[in-house]
Structure 1
Amino acid sequence: MNNVKGKLIIIGGAVDKGSFTEASYDANIANNLNFFETGILRRIIRESKHGEESRIEVITTASVIPREVGPQYVKAFEYLQAKNVGLMYIEKREQTKDPEILARIQAADVVMFTGGDQLRLTSILGGTKLHDIILDKFKNEDFIYAGTSAGAAAASNNMIYQGSSQEALLKGEVKITSGLSLIENVIIDTHFVQRGRMGRLFQAVVGNPRVLGIGLGEDTGLLITSDGKMEAIGSGLVILVDGRQIMDTNLTQVELGKPISINNMIVHVMSMYDTYDLNTHVMEIHNSQYSIPLFTPAETDSDPVNDDKE
């Protein structure tokens, strides 16, 4: 993230946008707005260049049901008072040459990639003029790349695109390819807690311990700023897998399909407002039990008010 001006907001999936499909949505607004007021989409608007006036483009390329998914995000952003939200159905590589689409991306303050299949996202957008514009804006402008599920997984240089959760610590079960390259030296997995994907991230990291594994729970994300600081946002957990202190593994000694052993892998667990510095590899817990003194100093026997009394 060095030498860039933009921000990343990566989300683990299943973002609670509120139940817009409910006929009684407005009647239940008090319940449904809890996410809006404290959650991820509200934070995207707040972090954007012009706030509620920012140009936001929702891009559904990863989804196989884009016309169901896209309008829900648009409606959610608009309910949060975002006044300039667009929706782009980019389903073929040839569309990435469309001058109108390129002009809209160039004018955007935020691009929001929905969930689906991250390989579909990278195979359609990777290496195109549209991809180049996003990378250039991210490097040189106050611009936000936001992605949920597939949109998050595709943000880094290295991208997990396949791998059984149950067999993830068997050699060769996790498949990795190149992502959209907005951030280096991390690899991101999504729906992390709910789908039991810890083993997938372990195998990804043991193969190259320089890479920090990031596991995003559902309705949970990270805000990553240009100074390399990551802040947990949303209601769930972020798991970080740091392999730099790994002492030993059998990775290169076992055959494909055999279990992998790893000695001394470090795992951190983050929740809302916790931070992690990608440069120093230091995590700070926002509500640490050690930020409050464990005991108060004993009171002295002297009584200042009465010191002069004999």
Structure 2
Amino acid sequence: MEHRKGKTIVPTMWGTMNLFPVLALVFIVLRLYCRRWLKKATTGYLDDYVLIFSWILMVITSTIGLMLAKHGVGTAIVEGDEIIVEPEVMHALLFWTANLLLFGINAIAFSKVSWFITLIRLVTNRWQKVVLWVLMVFSTAALFAASTLGYYQCHFEPDGTGSKKKRCLNNRFAIIFSFVVAIYSTVLEFALSAVPAYVVWKLPLKRTTKIGIVCATSVGFVSAMMGALRTKAYYDHLFPLGKLPEMYSLGCVIMFAVLEVCTTIIAASIPFLRPLVKKMAKAYDEDDLSWP
């Protein structure tokens, strides 16, 4: 039967997965500029290094995702009423999707670790720091476990005849565990996005300053929304259990995972740009004063 292409997200994948990593890198550079040169901070760089590492993992994820797009990921291939996967594409999908899960989920994990470290530095009460530490360790361990399951879920072993036999872990357990971790990660991200607003609003600052800081940190909600969209696409890709993987929704999973990491990096960088904003505002005022 002749195959035909259905809906596709490939052009959107190419646009977003090339633009947003560059945008995230710009914010990382601005963050480092503000911390190291404007504020001349001499300590507290751990979250910077973790953020840079998550960006590197995200770029690898984006590269693998765009390469998979050439194999049909992001485009629904329809045969009658059934969505199918070309046989020659399956081996490439099994190999590269496993690597994509390893790098992509760890990129999400490390971006969250950086945000956790920043929040731990921001809060003042001991119990708040303890809760954030516990959440960071638990969520990071869960994401690491999900990425490991995704990577080792299927592998090939010699079967004694000169060929290799595919051996897989319990597919149902791996899928359900990864989906539960995705839901947990998204819910946690929404909760963490509200922490800066809660803390800042109790500080003895001007109301306008508080509103400005809260608006700057509210980008974290955008990252949480990307996580929610990734989880929804992951559900469409895998459920009901036992069906063939759906290529369109897999493209959505990859794209929203990259966007989630990029927006987390941006959200984690914006609060550190205040010295640059103040410097620019001061320069603007001086220009006004010197205007004839």
Bin for the TM-score computed over the shorter chain: under 0.3
Greater share of residues in strand: 1
Q: What TM-score does the superposition give when structure 2 sets the normalisation length?
A: 0.25
Larger helix proportion of the pair: 2
Higher relative CO (Cα under 8 Å, sequence separation at least 6) belongs to 2
